[in-house]
Amino acid sequence: MVLSSLSVTIVVPVISIIVYVLVVGYRRRSRINALRKLGVAMPAGWSWWFGHLRVLDEKLKKLPPDANVYMAMHDIVPDHADSEVFLMDYWPVAEPMLMIFGIELSHQTSTKYDLPKPSNQEHSFSPIIGGSSLITMNGEQWKFWRSLLNPGFSASHMLSLIPNIVDAVDVFCELLEQNANKGLFSLDDMTTRLAMDVITRTTLDTDLDNQRNEHKFAHALNTILNWHSFWDPRILLNPLRVPVQWYYGRIMSSFIRGELSKRFVEMKRSKATINDSAASTKKAKSVIALALEEYITRKQEHDKTPLENIHLDENFARIAANQIRLFIFAGNDTTATAIGYTYHMLSQHPTVLAKVRSEHDTIFGSDTDPGALLRQQPALINQCRYTLAVIKETLRLYPPASSIRDGLPGVSFVDRKGTSIPTEHLSATIMHNYVHVNPRLWHRPLEFLPDRWLVNADHKLYPPPGAFRPFEHGPRNCIGQTLVLNEIRVALIMTARRFYLQPAYEEFDALERAKEGVWMELMRKVGIKGKECKVVLGERAYQTSRSGAHPADGYPCRVSLVGK
């Protein structure tokens, strides 16, 4: 009797789960099949049981294990040039996704319909960001926070922060000089530390001095990122991932909430001591300080709350801390990657490097300290048109991310063949790296040609409107794009004429092979362990799956002083 009851207790839930999976699976399979019948483009090899997972797996097997997952789409994209979109079915792992690489569908996604951020994105980003933020918010909540934070990222305010960036790049130059004509070092590590110092100075008014000694906050973020993936089951299924990310997330939150409280007290004190009009027009320096200033003003003017009675609302403080974590994550990861790949492109194109140096000589003089000039005249940065063109061309070929949105009931896309694609129950990904090299849109798309950003609109090299999307388009474009471009320009202005950086992958690979033991060497000789793939599309410095698409193996390089 006991065994019978136990059997029922076990069997009934198991059968219920099986029935649920079969019913849900059938419904989702039927939707995909219906889209196939509508003529929605899909890669060959679709399966009722596994969607396109086996197709994706075959593509990934040809790549290094750490390669960016979008690299797997390289062979699929040309097969759908007529529609510039195809559907990837990730059943049973994830929702089916429209993979977009044309400007018309990109516009429909980000601007015409302004589709919402995925409902599950907050969960995916939570270990890094802590919860709701601009990257996951929708509707009125997103509008409120975007309007509150916009002033801190305005072009004029970003210009006022140039001296802070110069201070951080000064340390970067000091460390490069210490490495000059010495051994290999990781450029990616150095640019990541630089970007961390810049983003915390500009968003929090906090100097971590992370370039000289890794700060506990930076260590916590890097640890979380090392244990994070949006798709890799080897990381997602690791039982240690959740406790490790939780522990280091607590360290990040504690630090930011402490700094946030300090800035709030400073803003209240500043408001209380303003006695003349000149002082009242003085702007706070950091992004979050400006947001807190606006928060206090709204409390005073809209809610009629006396200054002494204004307190930092817990819900506001919690979300503000998430916003700061977002800015630090995005500003640190993607900016570091962009700086590194810009140096990479300059090392591969000496003629371009010579033009950059010539521009800096013309604007700053050949015998002056460009950092000192930028502190006095930050607007000089806007005269560096060719430098900006180099940065944009680098971002075109090495975009640090893509954009994902959720479909909606009643919203249908129309592809270039005229096929109507209902977006309900689908996600849509704008694949920046393929939009940026779409041969229909770009002349000589795979070539590094900074001049395309300087030619007239009637020139065949001129970038088509909507085709350059590293910061996305539409209402939800990147709020921090001006800061990113300013930081890279300052870095190049202060280093391009002083240092020469050269990748050292061959030397790095030889050193790594030398570290292998006898057992690994034996396995290679007998064919048990094959030669590991370390090149993607001819590029050793390929983009990896780490957030921000960092270069492989940290970009090992050597640096020397120009003229020495």
State how far the Cα of 45 lies from the Cα of 22, in Å rounded to an integer. Answer: 22
Give the C-alpha separation, 165 to 167, whole Å. Answer: 5
Q: Which of 338, 275, 306, 358 is nearest to 478 (CA)?
A: 338
Q: Is the pLDDT of residue 6 over 70?
A: no
Contact call for residues 376 and 481 (beta carbons, < 8 A): no
Residue extent(s) of CATH 1.10.630.10 domains in the chain: 139-406+440-498
- Is the pLDDT score of 523 beyond 70? no
Give the span between the Cα atoms of 108 and 98, in whole angstroms: 13
The tokens describing 167, both together, are 């201070």
Q: What is the mean pLDDT of the chain?
A: 89
416 and 441 Cβ atoms separated by less than 8 Å: no
pLDDT, residue 20, reads 57
- The topology (CATH level 3) of 139-406+440-498 is Cytochrome p450 (1.10.630)
Top pLDDT among 123 and 402 is at: 402
* In contact, 332 and 214? CB cutoff 8 Å: no
pTM over 0.75: yes
Q: What pLDDT digit, counting tens, does each position of 343-385 carry?
A: 999 999 999 999 999 999 999 998 889 999 999 999 999 999 9
Of 403, 398, 399, 395, nearest to 99 by C-alpha is 403
Instruction: Please state, in angstroms and rounded to a whole number, the distance separating the CA atoms of residues 426 and 42.
Output: 14
User: Which residues make Cβ contacts (< 8 Å) with residue 17, sequence separation at least 6?
Assistant: none
Distance of CA 279 to the CA centre of its chain: 38
Q: Is pLDDT of 78 > 90?
A: yes
Q: Is the pLDDT of residue 3 over 80?
A: no
Write the pLDDT tens digit of every residue in 399-445. 998 999 999 999 999 999 999 999 999 999 999 999 999 999 999 99
Residues in binding site for heme: 478
What gap in Å lies between CA 411 and CA 341, rounded to an integer? 38
Q: Are 497 and 507 in contact (CB under 8 A)?
A: no
The answer to whether the beta carbons of residues 188 and 177 sit under 8 Å apart is no
List own/partner pairs for 90-95 with CB under 8 A and 24 or more apart.
Answer: 90/51, 90/52, 90/53, 90/56, 91/25, 91/28, 91/29, 91/32, 91/50, 91/51, 91/53, 92/25, 92/50, 92/51, 93/53, 94/231, 95/425, 95/426, 95/427
Which residue numbers belong to the known binding site?
A: 478
| DSSP class per residue in 153-164 | GSHHHHHHTHHH
Comparing 10 with 100, which gets the higher pLDDT? Answer: 100
C-alpha–C-alpha distance, residues 321 and 337, integer Å: 24
Looking at the chain, the whole-number percentage of residues with pLDDT higher than 70 is: 90
Q: CA-CA distance, 488 to 423, in Å (whole number)?
A: 38
pLDDT digits (tens, 9 = 90+) for 181-207: 898 999 999 999 999 999 999 988 899
